[in-house]
Structure 1
């Protein structure tokens, strides 16, 4: 594994983020050493701040003068200085709850939050369980010594199949969405590929909307279409809200399962605590989220006017770009004083993380992702108690992204099966 780029002093040239995401936690540690927030360069040398301190992150996420709306509060975007081919443009050009500010954020978030209420998540639990075990049944067709890619055949498929139910995605669009979503998170694409990726997703979103207009159902897409018909959402807000749900929601859960499998297969003593019931799968899931934030760094926020953080003394000038480094926050020594870089499901601070955001910007699908993590990890290791990685964890190839924290593949040997179903509560 290569090391993160050598950091430069905060008073000198900014730290250039590694767009390949080769060593997310090495880079996070280097940035943390430069202070609670430090100047960095995004792709194409776009200047920004990387915020790594969890307390400062919490303050900024709820600050009234920190916006997510590039169209209103990023001068470089407003003046046309950001090229159309910029690899992060899809993250700032969409119009949904991810990029909205103030009342607009409240308006765009409201229908999404209603769709992922605790009651709706509880109602989905039997379906998540059924999907999980259908995937495990498929895996059992492999020989006990055969190497299988658990990211492709389990971690990737389960959240997408759940999303298909939640959003009412027809079967003929399942595979196209699967193939198109991942490119939205790559941060090292060529300019041409960077433009093509969102275009393909928008085409699929258009097909989904057309299908659900003809055949509405009891699903989130139909509810959002109804909101558009009532005048609550514009056509672009409708499409971009679906991109948020399909893209960001899916990727988060895939990486949660990916890292959960790696961590538990690599720590058999801790796995035994979970499978015996001594440590709950809910606590296991939170430690995975803390240790490996599924979204390592999320762009972007903008200072509406000069913002001075009274605790750190850091001044963000009007128009400054901020990116939030959740990977660094999860391993903050102040929040997790006992070996923060170690995976440890017994620690008392497993739930002290920001993997799903904070406050009014907490991910609406957080509880659904947690439910999928609990159910899937418990069932996988109950079915394959001897599961082992086919390569050392340090040899797993990381996704080429500083946004999405996951692996390209997850080769594993399943071993003999055991059919008893676990209780994942």
Structure 2
């Protein structure tokens, strides 16, 4: 990696402009991450499709990233959690298949369908709370709706007690903040694992009909040679709880924002001319809930373009958000929000063997919560000009710090 890298903006101030800049440099571009770590950014859809299914690319830093294996990457790095966990997110080959099989039963289509009545109840409860807001009050819809629906769903699914929920939420938020200082990153790392340890201890003492209890039982009952080691158990909980709400929060946030800033498109949906599924998929394409995902590593030398070679051990940063606006995939109008477009191809939930297991649940939550929101508040509107909405301080998570609205 010899050419001068593009330093990624940790504040995420203009994600789409930065992606355009990366794309203009070619399908694979050297970038610099916080802490001076260099990686290859992949923005080309065809190349992503090739790399994300290739055994030449790994997510296991212990095997395939020499800097990590050699101890150069430490817990005070702001992205340490993204690479150091022991779960299916960072597993490679047979280990990945083993860990994914243990979690997959919680996210089958049948299990998701069974959750729909409870999701409807949760959404209705939250909308009732919002309806009690005094007239004229500005409501932060991200915090009071977009956040509440998926967090309540995933916390119930995982059996997270209320007394742990608030602290865990703050830790997960910090994990997606790419402006965090090394000191705060290390403190957040330790605090998050303290909460997860408390969750495991609580569910061992008071097991229930929840995914955490099921994973603990799988771990404890098998004893020697258990399918999950203790670190894998903790890190699997970290993955499922964080991924189970963060993507959906941004999906709700970005879909609401796109519809409120494109009233003609909103009118098509509310009039039944196009479905809510169309609106949700177009929002996922237009503003992917996740932008860049750290990290993958070249297992062998990979030629990605004539004269452009990723060397063994080089880190790779996947830009899922780039695919939704790739001009080769969506020629002519990739930057236009159009709920009627025929091809809404995107990678908002990943691609290949690491495609998000929770995608059906996220779509179900959005498909229930969004029409209920707009039906309850048909005059919903932004309380500030769209240009004043502040992005999250992240090049990973794509949402807003707040979504201020008038409900009526």
TM-score range, shorter chain: over 0.9
Equivalent residue runs for 1:276-295 within 5 Å: 276-295=271-290
Match of 1:320 in 2: 314
What is the Cα deviation at residue 268 of structure 1? 1.4
What is the Cα deviation at residue 151 of structure 1? 0.6
Q: Gaps spanning 5+ residues in structure 2: where?
A: none
Contact 2:171 2:192 in 1 (8 A): yes
**Structure 2 CA distance for aligned equivalents of residues 279 and 200 of structure 1:** 45
What are the Cα deviations for residues 121-140 of structure 1, in whole angstroms up to 9, with x where unaligned? 00001111110010000001
What is the Cα deviation at residue 174 of structure 1? 2.4
Aligned residue for 2:372, secondary structure, equals helix
Equivalent of 1:121, from 112, 126, 130? Answer: 112
Match of 2:188 in 1: 197
1:236/1:11 Cα in 2 relative to 1: closer, same or farther (>3 Å)? closer
Match of 2:379 in 1: 386
Equivalent residue runs for 1:100-179 within 5 Å: 100-179=91-170
**Structure 2 CA distance for aligned equivalents of residues 199 and 393 of structure 1:** 37
> In the alignment, does 2:366 pair up with 1:373?
yes
**Structure 2 CA distance for aligned equivalents of residues 179 and 44 of structure 1:** 23
TM-score (normalised: structure 2): 0.96
**Structure 2 CA distance for aligned equivalents of residues 112 and 313 of structure 1:** 41
Contact 1:184 1:247 in 2 (8 A): no
Across the aligned residues of Structure 1 and Structure 2, the Cα RMSD in angstroms comes to 1.4
1:179/1:81 Cα in 2 relative to 1: closer, same or farther (>3 Å)? closer
What is the Cα deviation at residue 144 of structure 1? 3.4
Equivalent residue runs for 1:299-314 within 5 Å: 299-309=294-304, 314=308
Match of 2:356 in 1: 363
**Structure 2 CA distance for aligned equivalents of residues 293 and 138 of structure 1:** 29
**Structure 2 CA distance for aligned equivalents of residues 337 and 26 of structure 1:** 17
What are the Cα deviations for residues 145-167 of structure 1, in whole angstroms up to 9, with x where unaligned? 21100011000111100001110
**Structure 2 CA distance for aligned equivalents of residues 191 and 179 of structure 1:** 17
- After TM superposition, the structure 1 stretch with the greater mean CA deviation from structure 2, 236-245 or 75-84, is 75-84
Equivalent residue runs for 1:184-223 within 5 Å: 184-223=175-214
**Structure 1 CA distance for aligned equivalents of residues 349 and 102 of structure 2:** 18
Runs of 4+ in 1 over 4 A off after TM superposition: none
TM-score (normalised: structure 1): 0.93
Match of 1:407 in 2: 400
What is the Cα deviation at residue 317 of structure 1? 0.7
**Structure 2 CA distance for aligned equivalents of residues 374 and 333 of structure 1:** 28
Q: Gaps spanning 5+ residues in structure 1: where?
A: 1-9, 416-425
Contact 1:36 1:312 in 2 (8 A): no
What are the Cα deviations for residues 162-213 of structure 1, in whole angstroms up to 9, with x where unaligned? 0011101122222222222100101111111001112111111111111111
What are the Cα deviations for residues 269-295 of structure 1, in whole angstroms up to 9, with x where unaligned? 111111122211111111111111111
Aligned residue for 2:32, secondary structure, equals strand
Match of 1:345 in 2: 339
What are the Cα deviations for residues 31-50 of structure 1, in whole angstroms up to 9, with x where unaligned? 01111111111111111000
What are the Cα deviations for residues 340-363 of structure 1, in whole angstroms up to 9, with x where unaligned? 11211111112x110101121110
What is the Cα deviation at residue 313 of structure 1? 6.2
**Structure 1 CA distance for aligned equivalents of residues 332 and 38 of structure 2:** 34
- After TM superposition, the structure 1 stretch with the greater mean CA deviation from structure 2, 170-179 or 341-350, is 170-179
**Structure 2 CA distance for aligned equivalents of residues 238 and 329 of structure 1:** 33
What is the Cα deviation at residue 315 of structure 1? 1.9
Match of 1:243 in 2: 238
Give aligned pairs, total: 404
What is the Cα deviation at residue 11 of structure 1? 6.9
